[in-house]
């Protein structure tokens, strides 16, 4: 347990109040539900940065009350990866400390078909220290250094691919999590591990943090932290079936681990980008299927489903859709942020809506804010406009919740807006 003490101190927890390591997820090593929500300074910075408006006045008044509680509207996307390595004990605990009422474990599997928390089956080279461990030799694609020209510009970027399916669970447990990043100009594996975006930090990615977890261990941690759970069944990088492990068995195994842990289906929002996974749960695990979430993988507005397709989702038993934020928002002639056509169609179809993901786009005031803001970027002028985005999503689109990389922001807004 010694290796977590520095991180726990940063989170305001005692060493006895949190899980030690994946190997210590057993009675006697318990992480308790945080006694209070600690928002830190960011939500208040965002409010101060807003242009004058009635919303800003309302949020300023709310900030003065100073007492906040966890809310289901606030969903910890991969935990709290704006500052902590994603899908780690430290990231999950930070999310709960900031009042996320629901926390996400993205689910994939190892070579021996054990479920673990990783955003992708093939991201170990960007989210862990695998390249500087003996396990690097087991990677699907060994490290190939970048080729640079005489001026140091990249001619061909560094290449490598390491999958959870390359290693066993026992080997997975030896790794440490780091911020999801890489250096395309790397000439060595050590250099490749760099590249963290300048709006994130490596402060909590040292040898004392980045504790990886199995899916089952995440369930136990979430139970102890008192949060609901939203596992996402990730697409496999290997061909399925994998050594006899079918897609259906994969989807079933994820649900079985909740049942084995005695978790009520009402506490679980199973997700997938694969509609067949969602329909499998709807048809074979009705209690969990009631609030299974179909994730939309649209890259542009033109890729989004129309009203008839959304109605068809509902007719098949899907109750909740989760598109990226840009799918739900647009601008009107006056330049105001307003609900999109997709948002209106999804509501008309009777679907619940969850939005992803806030706090992933870095600085907003410089414009060109990329994927999540593409349909309404012209309306974004300051960092504080995040609060305007949340207000339209909650008040006008009426989303059930919002994924965030820094859940303090969504927790604060949900408290001020009276959302559960």
81's CB contacts (< 8 A; 6+ apart) are: 91, 179, 180, 200, 405
**By the 8 A CB rule, do 386 and 364 touch?**
yes
Q: Residue 36 — pLDDT band, cuts 50, 70, 90? A: confident
Tens digit of each residue's pLDDT (9 = 90 or more) over 218-248 = 999 999 999 999 999 999 999 999 999 999 9
- Residue closest to 404 by CA, chosen among 356, 354, 334: 356
**By the 8 A CB rule, do 108 and 236 touch?**
yes
Tens digit of each residue's pLDDT (9 = 90 or more) over 42-99 = 999 999 999 999 999 999 999 998 889 999 999 999 999 999 999 999 999 999 999 9
Q: Residue 352 — pLDDT band, cuts 50, 70, 90? A: very high
Specify the number of domains making up the chain. 1
Higher per-residue confidence, 23 vs 160: 160
**By the 8 A CB rule, do 411 and 387 touch?**
no
Q: Residue 206 — pLDDT band, cuts 50, 70, 90? A: confident
**Residue 150 forms part of a structural domain:** no
The mean predicted confidence, pLDDT, of the chain is 92
Among 126-135, 148-157, 190-199, 205-214, which stretch is predicted with the lowest mean pLDDT?
A: 205-214
Output the pLDDT for position 32. 63
> Is pLDDT of 348 > 80?
yes
Measured in Å, how far apart are the chain's first and last C-alpha atoms? 35
**Residue 6 forms part of a structural domain:** yes
> Is pLDDT of 1 > 50?
no
Q: What is the mean pLDDT of residues 251-276?
A: 98
Tens digit of each residue's pLDDT (9 = 90 or more) over 124-159 = 999 999 999 999 999 999 999 999 999 999 999 999
Higher per-residue confidence, 272 vs 29: 272
Q: Residue 411 — pLDDT band, cuts 50, 70, 90? A: very high
Burial of 27: CB neighbours in 10 Å, binned 0-12, 13-18, 19+? exposed
> Is pLDDT of 24 > 60?
no
**Residue 315 forms part of a structural domain:** yes
**Residue 141 forms part of a structural domain:** no
**By the 8 A CB rule, do 111 and 138 touch?**
no
> Is pLDDT of 334 > 80?
yes
Tens digit of each residue's pLDDT (9 = 90 or more) over 385-398 = 999 999 999 999 99
Query: Helix (H, G, I), strand (E, B), or coil: what is residue 8?
Result: helix
- Residue closest to 31 by CA, chosen among 227, 169, 207, 206: 227
Q: Residue 31 — pLDDT band, cuts 50, 70, 90? A: low
**Residue 172 forms part of a structural domain:** no
Output the pLDDT for position 35. 63
Output the pLDDT for position 85. 98
Output the pLDDT for position 184. 98
60's CB contacts (< 8 A; 6+ apart) are: 47
Domain carrying residue 231: 2-117+213-417
Query: Helix (H, G, I), strand (E, B), or coil: what is residue 174?
Result: coil
> Is pLDDT of 399 > 80?
yes
**Residue 30 forms part of a structural domain:** yes
Output the pLDDT for position 28. 32
Q: Residue 207 — pLDDT band, cuts 50, 70, 90? A: confident
**By the 8 A CB rule, do 203 and 74 touch?**
no
Tens digit of each residue's pLDDT (9 = 90 or more) over 150-188 = 999 999 999 999 999 999 999 999 999 999 999 999 999
Output the pLDDT for position 5. 31
Alpha-helical segments (H) within 321-407? 325-328, 341-348, 385-391
**Residue 199 forms part of a structural domain:** no
> Is pLDDT of 7 > 70?
no
Question: What's the CATH code of the domain at 279?
Answer: 3.20.20.190
> Is pLDDT of 23 > 90?
no
Output the pLDDT for position 241. 98
Cβ atoms < 10 Å from Cβ of 62:
18
**Residue 267 forms part of a structural domain:** yes
């Amino acid at each position: 347990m010694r290796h977590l003490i520095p991180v726990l101190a940063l989170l305001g927890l005692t060493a006895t109040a949190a899980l030690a390591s994946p190997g210590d997820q057993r009675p006697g090593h318990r992480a308790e539900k945080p006694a209070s929500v600690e928002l830190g300074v960011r939500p208040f910075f965002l409010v101060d940065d807003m242009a004058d408006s009635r919303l800003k006045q309302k949020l300023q008044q709310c900030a003065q009350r100073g007492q906040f509680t966890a809310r289901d509207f606030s969903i910890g996307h991969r935990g709290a990866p704006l500052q902590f390595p994603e899908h780690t004990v430290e990231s999950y605990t930070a999310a709960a400390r900031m009042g996320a009422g629901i926390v996400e474990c993205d689910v994939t599997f190892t070579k021996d078909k054990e479920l673990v928390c990783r955003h992708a089956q093939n991201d170990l080279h960007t989210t862990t220290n695998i390249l500087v461990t003996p396990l690097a030799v087991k990677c699907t694609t060994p490290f190939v250094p970048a080729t640079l020209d005489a001026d140091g510009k990249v001619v061909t970027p560094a290449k490598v691919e390491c999958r959870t399916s390359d290693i066993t669970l026992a080997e997975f447990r030896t790794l440490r999590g780091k911020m999801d990043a890489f250096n395309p100009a790397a000439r060595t594996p050590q250099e490749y591990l760099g590249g963290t975006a300048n709006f994130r930090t490596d402060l909590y990615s040292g040898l004392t943090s980045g504790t990886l977890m199995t899916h089952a261990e995440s369930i136990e941690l979430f139970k102890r932290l008192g949060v609901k759970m939203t596992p996402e069944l990730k697409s496999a990088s290997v061909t399925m079936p994998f050594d006899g492990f079918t897609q259906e068995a994969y989807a079933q195994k994820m649900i079985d681990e909740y049942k084995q842990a005695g978790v009520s289906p009402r506490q679980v929002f199973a997700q997938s980008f694969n509609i067949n996974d969602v329909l499998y749960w709807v048809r074979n695990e009705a209690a969990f299927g009631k609030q299974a979430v179909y994730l939309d993988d649209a890259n542009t507005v033109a890729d989004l489903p129309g009203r008839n397709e959304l109605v068809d989702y509902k007719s098949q038993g899907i109750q909740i859709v989760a598109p990226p934020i840009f799918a739900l928002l647009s601008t009107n002639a006056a330049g105001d942020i307003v609900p999109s056509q997709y948002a209106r169609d999804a509501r008309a179809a009777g679907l619940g809506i969850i939005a992803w993901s806030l706090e992933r786009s870095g600085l907003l005031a410089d414009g060109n804010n990329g994927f999540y803001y593409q349909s309404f970027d012209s309306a974004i002028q300051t960092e504080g406009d995040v609060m305007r985005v949340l207000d339209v999503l909650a008040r006008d689109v009426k989303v059930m919740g919002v994924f965030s990389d820094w859940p303090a922001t969504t927790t604060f807004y949900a408290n001020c807006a009276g959302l559960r």
